[in-house]
Amino acid sequence: MRRLGNVVQLIKSRGPVSSGQGPFQLTRDEARNIGYHLRTMYRRDAQVCKQLLLRLNDELTRSTTVLDPKDYSVEHVLPQRPGATSEWRRWFADAEEREACTESLGNLVAVTQKQNDRARNQEFSRKREIYRGTDDDPPVLAITRDVVESNVWRAAEVRAREAKLLRLMRDIWDIDVAGMMQGGARSDVA
């Protein structure tokens, strides 16, 4: 409440507004808290997760795309519950690593609900086809394109994509959450 009051006061004063300055400056604990919540963002709040993916999509396209969030859902590329004999279990044999990668921001894409329903626990090659869409589907979003263009989806790809998205967040909001994240699917995010 105090921070919001300071933001309102700054706006009313018509003073300069700078990212990361004054009431917009985050403490180390706040940045760490953001990093902690990013590790399991979808589980914590799927709607906020979707909004974040759509905002990152805008940044990737370097434009503001008018998208109705109701038309999109968050899809886990590596499924939350892969079949016992699926390639996912071979690619992510270690259960702990599989869990971390599943919940990673790098494993999440925005697709239509119809695509999400079709993709569910499919193998990666089939998911890529579904994400590409049909003539009836809207174009592939930039936030999903790098997954569609990948040949495999293993831990290294999830970590690399998470690092890319965290750098994008740092560029947008001047918050280095990558440096604050501990655990999860990341290892050497710069």
48-86 per-position pLDDT tens digit: 999 999 999 999 999 887 889 999 999 999 999 999 999
The pLDDT value recorded for residue 185 is 44
Q: Which amino acid is at 144?
A: T
The pLDDT value recorded for residue 38 is 83
- Asked if residues 144 and 110 have their Cβ atoms less than 8 Å apart, the reply is yes
Distances (CA, A) of 158 to 52, 146, 153, 178: 17, 11, 7, 14
- Asked if residues 57 and 142 have their Cβ atoms less than 8 Å apart, the reply is yes
pLDDT in tens, 33-48: 887 888 888 998 999 9
Q: Is 80 exceeded by the pLDDT of residue 4?
A: yes
The pLDDT value recorded for residue 30 is 82
pLDDT in tens, 143-166: 999 999 999 999 999 999 999 999
The pLDDT value recorded for residue 181 is 61
Which range, of 21-25, 49-53, 174-178, averages the lowest pLDDT?
174-178
Nearest to 119 by CA among 88, 78, 91, 155: 78
Alpha helices in 14-149 (DSSP H): 28-38, 41-44, 46-61, 87-91, 95-103, 113-119, 124-132, 142-148
Q: Which amino acid is at 66?
A: V
Q: Which amino acid is at 168?
A: L
- Dihedral class, residue 81 (left if φ above 0, else alpha if ψ from -120 to 50, else beta): beta
Q: Is 80 exceeded by the pLDDT of residue 142?
A: yes
